Amino acid sequence: MVAVDPQTPDLTGDVRAEAERSLEQQKHYLCGSVAAFTNIAVTFPIHKALFRQQLFGVSAAEAVRQLRKDGLRTLYRGLLPPMLQKTSTVALMFGLYEDFSRLLPRHIAAATAAPDLLTRSLAAVLAGTAEAVLTPFERVQTLLQDPRHHARFQNTSHCFRKLLSDYGVRECYRGLVPILLRNGPSNALFFGLRGPIKELLPEAESEAGHLVNDFICGGVLGAVLGVVFYPLNVVKSRAQAQIGGEFLSSRAILLTILQEREGKVTRLFRGVHLNYQRSVLSWGIINATYELLLKTL
């Protein structure tokens, strides 16, 4: 029988502890991905009606009428890109935020005595910026939802192939600037205000109560941020609906839209009411599902 030196490090324990830390870090990505999947499955038809309003400046009733006219066969056309894009971006949003929030204090706060709020805000902005790498999914989603391109593109893979073969990778990133302008600041506000808003709600005394509070917190934040950044989404939709040609600046696109809508800023917010309602439901589902999964795993 071999004697074990009590001074010998417990390598098995170290490996187990490292594995547990790795799983703890990765679960934020998994929870975010599943939360986004749940949301997209529920809210896709609403998003499609909203897209029609953003692109054509029509009323909610007209957008719904157009979808009814197109029929159920095309109602979920374009589902795969947002499913892939949203599950990936929300996973990155929550996962990278947690990773950056853990790493930045070690390298920035210790050297500059930066406050925790600043490092967490920077973590949120960096996470939002990293999400923009998945812009091609939003690009393809826009093209598949645009009725003017129904006959041109068969499905997601066909749309990707046509863009890459006919125009190159750069075409897949059309609309990148408004996405960058939207993602970073909205992430910083979402993560920065999520805690304080939840503290204002009545204290939950059950799991169901916590779930409701998380839904309300996420829904309120998502709705408010959706309104604030709505014009950027309008510019993004207009930019990404174009195929080929000059890459116009966000400012030029915004001025064109305003000119088409008789210079009335209020018409730039066509669809904002539907967007507000969708965001309440969408971000309520995401936040509540994410927090529930985080406690379960």
CATH of the domain at 228: 1.50.40.10
CA atoms within 13 A on the CB side of 111: 6
Domain assignment present for residue 152? The answer is yes
Q: Enter the tokens of residue 165.
A: 């073969």
Residue 150 lies in a domain: yes
Examine residue 12 and state whether it is found in any structural domain, yes or no: no
Percent of the chain having pLDDT more than 70?
90
Pick from 103, 104, 138, 141: nearest CA to 119: 104
216, HSE (Cβ side, Cα atoms, 13 Å) = 15
Contact of 90 with 286, CB cutoff 8 Å: yes
Sign of CA dihedral 130, 189, 119, 286: negative
Asked whether residue 6 is domain-assigned, the answer is no
Out of 28-37, 58-67, 118-127, least confident range: 58-67
Type of residue numbered 77: R
User: Is 218 among the domain residues?
Assistant: yes
Q: What is the pLDDT of residues 250-296, one digit of tens each?
A: 999 999 999 998 888 888 888 888 788 889 999 999 999 999 999 98
- What is the residue range of 62's domain? 25-296
Number of domains in the chain: 1
As a whole number of angstroms, the distance between CA 283 and CA 277 comes to 10
pTM for the whole thing? 0.80
Q: Work out the pLDDT band at 1, boundaries 50, 70, 90.
A: very low
> Of 3-7, 104-108, 200-204, which range is least confident?
3-7
Q: Tell me how far apart the alpha carbons of residues 154 and 60 are, in angstroms, rounded to a whole number.
A: 27
